[in-house]
Amino acid sequence: MPNVIGYARVSTTDQDPQMQLDALSAAGSARIFTDTASGRAADRPQLREALAYLNPGDTLAVYRLDRLARSTADAVRLMGELNSRGIEFRSLTEAIDTRSPGGRMVYTVMAAVATLEAEIISERTKAGLAAARAQGRVGGRPTVMTDERRRLAKVMAGEGKNNTEIGKALGVSRTTAAKLRAAP
């Protein structure tokens, strides 16, 4: 008997896949595989396991298409693999079902839209960072590499202190202490 196999993905450990898991369960998933990885990550072990678990006649279900593929090319490649193995595909929120030619066409169009959306977000982020830099703002944590700390690190190193001891004394990590010691 064919099964519905679910696949869920969140990008970071801070995100909660529960909404996806609930929707996939409600859609009748016999088993759900979950990755915590960026959509752009090539290695998604749970997706690999889900694909290996699927049998002809089964359906791979995802909450949204962007949870499955990294790009239009990746989506089309995955669809080709599923089709060649006799496996159907379903996206719950976009109502994509590949049991018909129209469903397969919608899948390809939605994959292209998802790729476009990801590229636009990336471009906006890069433009925003460039605009902030142009105004003299720099992202990230403020540096702890003051001239005084560099001098103290060098003095302590000259006294035979190791990076752990220097780091504790200056209130920085061992790695930062090593960088302070090595700085000109």
Instruction: List active site positions.
Output: 11
Residue 62 to residue 49: CA distance in whole angstroms: 15
Helix (H) or strand (E) holding 157: helix 147-158
Name the residue with tokens 């279900």: 61
Is the CB of residue 62 less than 8 Å from the CB of residue 6? yes
Q: Which of 53, 21, 55 is nearest to 35 (CA)?
A: 21
Is the CB of residue 61 less than 8 Å from the CB of residue 3? no
Is the CB of residue 29 less than 8 Å from the CB of residue 61? yes
Question: How do 4-10 and 88-91 pair as beta strands?
Answer: unpaired
Secondary structure (3-state) at 14: coil
Q: Strand pairing partners for 154?
A: none
